[in-house]
Structure 1
Amino acid sequence: MTHALVDLIPDLPKVLLHDHLDGGLRPQTVLELADEVGHEVPAGDADALGAWFVEAADSGSLVRYLETFDHTIAVMQTPEALARVAREAVLDLAADGVVYAEQRWAPEQHVQRGLALEATVEAVQAGIDEGIREAAARGQTIRVGQLVTAMRHTDRWQEIAELAVAYRDRGVVGFDIAGPEDGFPPSRHAGIWRFLAEQNFPVTVHAGEAAGLDSIAQAVHLGQADRLGHGVRIVEDITFHESFDDDGERLAELGPLAHWVRDHQITLEVCPVSNLQTAATTATTVADHPITRLKELDFAVALSTDNRLMSRTSMSHEMTRLVTEAGWTIDDLADVTMTAAWSAFVHHDERRELVDELILPGYQKVEGALR
């Protein structure tokens, strides 16, 4: 059954909530764009460059992982480059069976050649729109929204939040903060969160990756985050016992913050392959990654990729590893897909349409093939 399921994973409809636009470039695109702007990259052909990104990111350090973005951001400084990268991202995701995605990126990192912030958002949206049209011509249905991100350490949070809100009806679906988590908490600019709440604007916060429970607590209480980017370090507020319940599951005792996150079903955007690279958890294998235990404990878990280039991953790859290494079934895959769909930063009726028209029929088709 495992082998049959793995073979059918590419056919499953997928929902991707945590995917960085500047972390998903095609290696060949990096080479071509670098040549256009005179940026030196570490390798001269696509295969070697792709391998370099993975090796550089696979260091066990989030700081080192983030350094790989120096090259992708450097080649994404013109409207044409931003549109191309966005278009190709949509096409690559659609080819992987993704039917809904949110692409997060930081406009402030793409103004080095004089672009206005507004121009960067518009260029990315033009690329997204073109990608959606091309995917439709290939018979693939996908919807993609922008998650506009402020970098924690550059202190432009209010400006970027206002930018995101200004484009809420022109492709932007939510706001995020990213970058160095430890030392740059949500309280650094406390007023921004009230502004976003008053604007009724969705928020996700990178938290529980490079910093622990205090970071998560600020994200959910001060930031009023609907979702947590990664969030896997919530396990630090869970005590796992040696004894088991009647279903054979290891007993666990939740602390007050873990209870809060689970009780409020704050979605954890979990990226297993990336987490192993950056040592976001103590796990060293997908089999030991806390995503499985968190899901079993009824946390709202959504599976994501984080950075497809640096992790050499895709949604199909993440799902395959969970099936082959952690024993996941099609029901487990359906569970995280449905959670992601119901956590998408679109309105309730749009989520319902996504579930009823794309996800459920897609899973029913694959389940029928498995019988």
Structure 2
Amino acid sequence: MSTPETPTETAPTPEQVRRLPKVSLHDHLDGGLRPSTIVEIAAANGHALPTTDPEELGVWFRDAADSGSLVRYLETFDHTIAVMQDAESLARVATEAVLDLATDGVVYGELRYAPEQHLQRGLSLDEVVVAVEEGMRRGEQLAAQAGTPIRVGTLVTAMRHADRGLEIAELALRHRDAGVVGFDIAGAEIGFPPSNHLAAFDRLHAENFPVTIHAGEAFGLPSIADALHTCGAERIGHGVRIVEDIEFGEGRDRFGMPAATLGRLATWVRDRGIVLELCPSSNVQTGAATSVAEHPITALKDLGFSISVNTDNRLMSGTSLSREFSLLVDEAGWDLADVERATITALSASFLPFPDRLALASDVIRPAYAPA
């Protein structure tokens, strides 16, 4: 007999998707705050907001981000970062983020943020990281007590337009045994190639520390190639514009794959199983895709690319990981097997140690997707 936790129909319902265990790889801490928390902290520190009504503020963030421009999208972070400038607020935001993911059925998540953006009120880089990690661990404890256990790792991010990559890399290494599991660069892509931070990546590789890089969202194939071949990224944040190296034909081949001719970079990414951290709703907002239905994620999945589904910024997109999967089910024809495959792909590409990945897959994820 089936249960609400174990969907048996080909296309799972939104409630079934919410109950299923999921893995989140690309989620910005400063893009997932609760509007009520922003209002409370802003009132305490004197930061002016577009509105002090939490519901209206949530709508404002979504509307402001829904502009089709990555630059305009990034401007919404002025308000979230402004309320993340002291240790107490950072810890609170981190705790709430973990709890929100756990409530959505996420069993492992990687939350990323840029410590250099949280120094306006006198915190040091190390104090920022300590506060966030304390909040993360508190969130894990509260989630376990609520019966929704989750494990969370932190990705320390450097801003690509700044000149602190090596400094932030050293920061990540100092905290690698206290919850920081990887390194990232983020921010405006055009004019700021990943290789500007090559010294940071060389240092991280020398210390056997995992790296993912934002690439192929606002800028195209050269950004992805630079991240992979020059900087040694293990995953690509977004990477949606890899589709520019694919020429699609008509129909499908004898294996059921869409008829397509892949360029050399696309072939490299697919054949080596480089995981793309795709974020459907966010990509539509920033103009990297026209709609969820037409988002390249489905074609890439069908062509054998290693894809994961992510939220990017839950506040700005008014979304959750369950909602992203449900949109793909409703608008792009995904089924339960697609959801499971993307979840296992994300887990396999996570920066968790292999025994922990194996345990999550065997004990939590596979049983939930198995027929009752």
- Calculate the TM-score normalised by the size of structure 1: 0.96
CA deviations over 1:132-173 (Å, ceiling 9, x no partner): 110011111100011000001111000000000111001100
Question: Aligned AA for 1:310?
Answer: M
Aligned residue number for residue 366 of structure 2: 360
| CA distance in 1: counterparts of 2:190 and 2:302, whole angstroms | 28
Equivalent residues of 2:11, 2:336 under 8 A apart: no
| CA distance in 2: counterparts of 1:244 and 1:72, whole angstroms | 45
Equivalent residues of 2:10, 2:336 under 8 A apart: no
Aligned residue number for residue 170 of structure 1: 178
1:5 is displaced (CA, Å) by 3.1
Q: Secondary structure at the match of 2:13?
A: helix
Question: Aligned AA for 1:105?
Answer: Y
Aligned residue number for residue 98 of structure 2: 90
Equivalent residues of 2:86, 2:123 under 8 A apart: yes
1:308 is displaced (CA, Å) by 0.2
Equivalent residues of 2:282, 2:312 under 8 A apart: yes
Tell me if 1:19 matches 2:37: no
Equivalent residues of 1:24, 1:307 under 8 A apart: yes
| CA distance in 2: counterparts of 1:4 and 1:242, whole angstroms | 29
| CA distance in 2: counterparts of 1:152 and 1:298, whole angstroms | 30
**Between 217-226 and 1-10, the greater mean CA deviation after superposition:** 1-10
After superposition, residues 221-300 of structure 1 pair within 5 angstroms as 221-246=229-254, 249-281=257-289, 284-300=290-306
After superposition, residues 1-371 of structure 1 pair within 5 angstroms as 1=9, 5-246=13-254, 249-281=257-289, 284-364=290-370, 367-368=371-372
1:247 is displaced (CA, Å) by 5.4
| CA distance in 2: counterparts of 1:212 and 1:110, whole angstroms | 30
Q: Secondary structure at the match of 2:110?
A: strand
Equivalent residues of 1:193, 1:222 under 8 A apart: no
Identity, % of aligned positions: 59
Residue 249 to residue 267, structure 1, CA distance change in 2 (3 Å): closer
Question: Aligned AA for 1:352?
Answer: L
| CA distance in 1: counterparts of 2:251 and 2:19, whole angstroms | 39
Equivalent residues of 2:258, 2:303 under 8 A apart: no
Question: Aligned AA for 1:288?
Answer: E
Residue 292 to residue 38, structure 1, CA distance change in 2 (3 Å): same
1:264 is displaced (CA, Å) by 1.5
Question: Aligned AA for 1:65?
Answer: Y
Residue 239 to residue 3, structure 1, CA distance change in 2 (3 Å): closer
| CA distance in 2: counterparts of 1:355 and 1:243, whole angstroms | 34
1:309 is displaced (CA, Å) by 0.1
1:189 is displaced (CA, Å) by 2.7
Residue 80 to residue 287, structure 1, CA distance change in 2 (3 Å): same
CA deviations over 1:108-145 (Å, ceiling 9, x no partner): 00001110000000000110111111001111110001
CA deviations over 1:74-119 (Å, ceiling 9, x no partner): 0000000000000000000000000000000000000011100000
CA deviations over 1:217-262 (Å, ceiling 9, x no partner): 0000111101000001001111101243235543011111111111
1:186 is displaced (CA, Å) by 1.4
Equivalent residues of 2:12, 2:335 under 8 A apart: no
Question: Aligned AA for 1:40?
Answer: A
CA deviations over 1:47-100 (Å, ceiling 9, x no partner): 100000000000000000000000000000000000000000000000000000
Equivalent residues of 2:270, 2:305 under 8 A apart: yes
Equivalent residues of 1:31, 1:45 under 8 A apart: yes
CA deviations over 1:14-41 (Å, ceiling 9, x no partner): 0000000000000000000100100000
Q: Secondary structure at the match of 2:57?
A: helix
Equivalent residues of 1:27, 1:46 under 8 A apart: yes
Q: Secondary structure at the match of 1:190?
A: helix
| CA distance in 2: counterparts of 1:297 and 1:248, whole angstroms | 9
**Between 355-364 and 156-165, the greater mean CA deviation after superposition:** 355-364
RMSD: 1.1
